[in-house]
Structure 1
Amino acid sequence: MNKLPTLAPAGKLHNLIHPPALALYSRDILLAIVVVSPLAHSTSEAVPPALINFVAQINQLINQVNLLQQSIGTTEQDITDIKNDIDTINQELSRQTHFRGYYLLNSDIQNLPNSANGDFAFSAESGTVWMFDSNWYNSGDILPDQVTPASDSTPLSDDTGTAGISTEYSRGDHVHPLNITSTKPPSDSASGSVGTTNYYARNDDSYPLNIITSISPQDSASGSVGTTNYYARSDHSHPINVETNASNIPIVNGVGANGSSAFYARHDHVHPQQLTYDGNVIATKFIKAGGTASEVLCANGDTTTIANK
């Protein structure tokens, strides 16, 4: 009971050191100086109702200040955006003010009157931007309309020739699609064809075999140019064009004739011997093997000498 009155501990002493706002600072001060009676069971019993209401009003003001600060932050961002837009407009106005135009010759730009630092002009002769800084000089910058963009399109396959209308350039590592056929080449034909396809043949293509599958015909007396569109194989063979009937043997010597047979004679053929012959024999001479110049051949095949006759 002999205790002296004490100050209630402040709930947010850190705000006394770094108060976020004046309202918070005032509220914490009020709460820090409240005198608590030794007879009070708690701090709240010692706080007057009027002070409680006052602190509640301060809290309400703190909330309103927070809302105002949030609103101010949004407004500041809007102001920053507007400022950036104004800077962009000023830069464009400055550019348009200093742009002197598009000229055919470099000399036309160098002779422009009333030139000021910052002026610039476009030259068709050099294809570059000219700048003025005490004197006109070629900046080397390519004109905006002369800057050619790279193409992002797939290159075209070869086709009917055309000059093209694209204003884009091809990249150095571009690749054209394969312009080759995916069908088998046709076989050769008698009439031939210039073709209509726009594709190239692969270097390893192969044509279907255009060869005949039937046996080659025999030679004939009349011959034939043929009507087939096939080629003959390199190892083909014609049927033998000789008489294969054993009963048809070469004829004996007789009256000369050209013959009518379409067959060839075998190289080992043998004509039948003509042992008898009825009729006059006209010959330059008869020779008997092994005879001498003084012997005479008799009709029966014997020989004798001229002295014996």
Structure 2
Amino acid sequence: AANNQIVDGQASDFALKIAPDGLLTLINEVNQLQSTVGSIDADIVGVKNELLIIQQELARQQHFRGYYLLNTDITSLLDSADGDFAFSAESGTVWMYDTNWYNSGQVVPDQVSPASDAVPLVDNATGAAGISNEYSRGDHQHPLQVSTVLPSADTATGEAGTAATYARSDHTHNVNLSNDVPLKDSGTGTAGASNIYASSTHQHPLNVDPTVANIPLVNASAAANGSSDYYCRNDHVHPQQLTYDGNITATKFIKTGGLPTEILCANGDTTTIDSKLSRTYSSGTGGYIRLCVFPAGTSTGAPYIYNS
């Protein structure tokens, strides 16, 4: 019976052995053998899978045409075959060949990065290149970085400022206008030291002599530039100056309020042509010419000229 169990000389694996106590026992080496065979089959399947991966990688490497800078570099490749593919740095996608090269839209494997879920940072004074390997989503928003402090008024020298925030586009500065009455002009003038502006509706005080008793001067014997800081009003009137020591040459004299029928006398008086006008010429003991115009009612007869 034991010899019938011998197959291909594997008596130790399949034979029945007589135990020392005389009983026949079945050695469980058959089960061990089956387990060993199953393990070998699994190893074979694993090897097959690895060979398949190697074959696929070899095929991939055989059809991978490389990493190119421009899309046109890929479409210009020679000896392209179906199944070929290449990576484009310009589009960041995988290009495949099927009769013609086309953009598959698949992202190049080494270009795939995870999206960041962190809130974007605000800008800072110096900026930073950053070390994150994540990309920002297309609909991300940065926090507002605007100032909530009221804008400062202008100063004489100005300041670059140190704030790291921006001013809103609808901000307004404090009104930097003076409430003081503008000064009068002075003899020498001054640049001023005020840090505030004058309102566009400001008015300077009148810079004329407030003393009514100080009337405009008459001409003096010698001209003078004067030293007064006041201006003359445009309707000022100088006093009349009717006494002169030298000869006067003029085209005419005009008496304010005078009439065409009046004559201006040397003392400033006026008389009419119809009033008595007398001229006497004397040449020693000789005769004289006397011209008299007698008003009506004071003589007998008509006016006359008497020669002697």
For structure 1, the residue ranges without an aligned partner over 5 or more in a row are: 1-85, 109-121, 131-137
Counterpart residue number, 1:301: 269
Correspondence for 1:148? 113
Q: Which residue of 2 aligns with 1:271?
A: 238
Q: 2:259 aligns with which of 290, 297, 301?
A: 290
How far apart, CA to CA, are the structure 2 residues paired with 1:175 and 1:203? Answer: 19
**CA 1:308–1:257 in structure 2 vs 1: closer, same or farther (change >3 Å)?**
same
Residue 301 of structure 1 aligns with an amino acid whose one-letter code is D
| Pairing partner for 1:252 from 211, 218, 233 | 218
Deviations 1:54-101 (A, max 9, x none): xxxxxxxxxxxxxxxxxxxxxxxxxxxxxxxx9xxx7xx859766738
Give the stretch that moved more between structures: 173-182 or 188-197. 188-197
What SS is found at the alignment partner of 2:172?
coil
3-state DSSP of counterpart to 2:65: helix
CA contact (8 A) 2:153 2:175 kept: yes
Deviation at 1:234? 1.0
For 1:223-246, what per-residue CA distance to the aligned partner results, in whole angstroms no more than 9, with x for missing partners?
A: 112221211111111111111112
Question: Quick one: which amino acid aligns to residue 114 of structure 2?
Answer: P
Q: 1:227 aligns with which of 193, 209, 221?
A: 193
Q: Deviations over 1:263-304 (max 9, x none)?
A: 112233333344x637345342534433579x6744463458
1:176 corresponds in structure 2 to 142
Counterpart contact for 1:185–1:207, Cα < 8 Å = yes
User: Deviation at 1:218?
Assistant: 0.2
Counterpart in 2 of 1:261? Answer: 228
CA RMSD, Structure 1 to Structure 2 (Å): 4.3
CA displacement at 1:158 relative to structure 2: 2.5
User: What secondary structure is seen at the aligned counterpart in 2 of 1:107?
Assistant: strand
Against the structure 1 CA distance between its residues 153 and 141, is the aligned structure 2 distance closer, same or farther, given a 3 Å change threshold? Answer: same
> Structure 1 residues 98, 199: closer, same or farther in 2, change over 3 A?
farther
Q: 1:142 to 1:204 in 2, by over 3 A?
A: closer
CA distance in 2, matches of 1:296, 1:212: 59
Distance in structure 2 (CA, Å) of the matches to 1:254 and 1:139: 106
Deviation at 1:149, TM superposition (A): 1.1
Secondary structure, aligned partner of 2:156: coil
Give me the identity figure in percent. 42
Q: Secondary structure at the match of 1:100?
A: helix
1:301–1:222 distance in 2 versus 1, CA, 3 Å: same
Residues 154 and 176 in structure 1, CA contact (< 8 A), matched pair in contact too? yes
Partner of 1:100 in structure 2? 57
Output aligned runs, 1:1-309, within 5 Å: 100=57, 106-107=64-65, 142=107, 145-159=110-124, 160-255=126-221, 256-274=223-241, 277=243, 279-280=245-246, 282-284=248-250, 285-288=252-255, 289-291=258-260, 297-299=265-267, 301-302=269-270, 309=279
Distance 1:184 1:279, change over 3 A: same
Q: Is the 8 A contact 1:127 1:143 kept in 2?
A: yes
For structure 2, list consecutive stretches of 5 or more residues without a partner in the other structure. 1-41, 67-84, 97-102, 280-308
Q: Distance in 2 between matches of 1:254 and 1:178?
A: 77
Task: Show CA shifts across 1:27-48 (max 9, x none).
Answer: xxxxxxxxxxxxxxxxxxxxxx
- The SS at the match of 2:57 is strand
| Cα shift at 1:182 | 2.1
In structure 2, relative to structure 1, the CA distance for the partners of 1:96 and 1:215 (3 Å cut) is farther
Aligned mates of 2:195, 2:208 — CA distance in 1? 28
Q: Distance in 2 between matches of 1:277 and 1:301?
A: 14
Please report the TM-score for the alignment, with normalisation by the length of structure 2. 0.51
Shift in CA distance, 197/203, structure 1 to aligned 2, threshold 3 Å: same
Q: How many matched pairs?
A: 202
Tell me how far apart the structure 2 counterparts of residues 148 and 103 of structure 1 sit (CA, whole Å): 24
d(CA) in 1 for partners of 2:178 and 2:159?
21
Is the Cα–Cα contact under 8 Å of residues 87 and 95 in structure 2 kept in the other structure? no
Higher helix share: 1
| Deviation for aligned residue 1:123 | 6.5
* 1:297–1:304 CA contact under 8 A, matched in 2: no
Of structures 1 and 2, the one with the larger relative CO (CA 8 A, separation 6+) is 1
Tell me, in whole angstroms, the C-alpha distance in 2 between the residues paired with 1:271 and 1:124.
101
